Structure 1
């Protein structure tokens, strides 16, 4: 009797972690920005959210454009060639590595997420120029030490790194905990590194 294929077993484990019967924030956000990695249940909740807060689609699209501007600034004006992107989300157009490597083909990017849906589509994030490298870590923001240790396989942590945390910290319920997690990751990065954060704020607009 032959041994089970490890890759097949890993793929089956990922599929088992994906629940297509419940809406998921990464998937309906993907729907907002025109992606295809979402299900009917995500589109239904997405349409409902748009009725309550019609400006949220603009927020999603603006956030994507902000990512592009931030990466271009870091590459062109700050000389950054390494990126640690935590809370990657589902791949769409102009992901961090695509923007960075168009400008500097030797850029290295490590994506981090613990969403099985993102993991299932990670191959789309692993394309790279021959000069650069991209990697994907199935890891959790709540474990900064593990992230930094695994990132060392791709990034040179003696050289500046841009830490990207976009639309992710809102999932951390406690504000001080969120600050602490970011501080822990930044403490593991060398002088000259940069921090890019983008997230929603609580305002009266659209509140119910």
Structure 2
């Protein structure tokens, strides 16, 4: 297993700190405080982001009939995780979580257990490696790629540098997944980044 570097802030642990969680380290808290000082609405945006996730998964499960989710950039377990929301509506829902932080995966495997009728799996991979995600045997064990799959990229795309071509990475994933309901997306906006941008 990959070692956890606690001396450098990591987005998932910083996010956990902003949500009031305990799974973070001094570097994450210092970085989180510095960002929140520069952008005072950060903590509120993080809370609203979790609410968006819950609303989106509820809509996709209840209204669109989706039973499979590929959640990339999972982050540390919190309230209303994708499988909890989906399986509360449809116990047979199947979820694959993907994150590149070994601490996230350790906590996810311990805390994010699905219903007996459904399934959950956890992949140690990165959004910048869609081929690796799609080729992982665990993904094939949990998701039926002949049926619609909701691709959840909640609060993760802004961590992918333009030089890594995030558009191509997402397109690669979307091309591999069956078509389903209308897309749902959320973008973070702030000073200098108007809603239309």
TM value normalised by structure 2: 0.89
Give distance in 1, aligned partners of 2:127 and 2:49: 20
| Alpha-carbon distance in structure 1 between the residues aligned to 2:164 and 2:113 | 36
Residue 74 of structure 1 corresponds to: 60
Partner of 2:114: 128
Match of 1:174 in 2: 162
Count of aligned pairs between the two proteins: 191
CA deviation after TM superposition for structure 1 residue 195, in Å: 4.1
Per-residue deviation, 1:95: 0.5
Structure 2 residue 44 is matched with structure 1 residue 52? no
Tell me how far apart the structure 2 counterparts of residues 51 and 44 of structure 1 sit (CA, whole Å): 11
User: In structure 2, how many angstroms separate the alpha carbons of the residues matched to 1:44 and 1:157?
Assistant: 42
**In structure 2, distance between residues paired with 1:195 and 1:113:** 22
Report how far residue 126 of structure 1 moved. Answer: 3.7
SS of 1:137's equivalent?
Answer: strand
SS state of the match for residue 79, structure 1?
coil
Given candidates 101, 123, 142, the residue that maps to 1:115 is 101
Q: Is the 8 A contact 1:111 1:136 kept in 2?
A: yes
**Correspondence for 1:188:** 176
CA distance in 1, matches of 2:187, 2:75: 14
2 CA distance for matches of 1:51 and 1:176? 29
Specify every segment of 5 or more residues in structure 1 that has no aligned partner in the other structure, as ranges.
Answer: 1-12
Distance 1:80 1:88, change over 3 A: same
- Kindly report the root-mean-square deviation, in angstroms, between the aligned alpha carbons of the 2 structures: 1.9
Alignment of structure 1 residues 35-50 onto 2, 5 Å:
35-50=21-36
- What is the distance in 2 between the residues matched to 1:60 and 1:66? 10
Q: 1:152: Cα distance to partner?
A: 1.4
Within 5 A, what are the aligned runs for 1:4-43?
13-14=1-2, 17-43=3-29
Instruction: Name the structure 1 match of 2:48.
Output: 62
- Note if contact 2:98-2:123 (Cα within 8 Å) is conserved in structure 1: yes
Structure 1 distance, partners of 2:121, 2:72, is: 12
Instruction: Could you tell me which runs of 5 or more consecutive residues in structure 2 were left unpaired when the two chains were aligned.
Output: none
> Displacement of 1:42 after TM fit?
1.6
Question: How far did 1:58 drift?
Answer: 0.6
Q: Post-superposition shift, 1:120?
A: 2.2
CA contact (8 A) 2:68 2:93 kept: yes
Tell which structure's C-alpha radius of gyration is larger. 1
Match of 2:144 in 1: 156
Q: Which secondary structure does the structure 1 equivalent of 2:153 belong to?
A: strand
User: 1:21 touches 1:41 (CA, 8 Å); kept in 2?
Assistant: yes
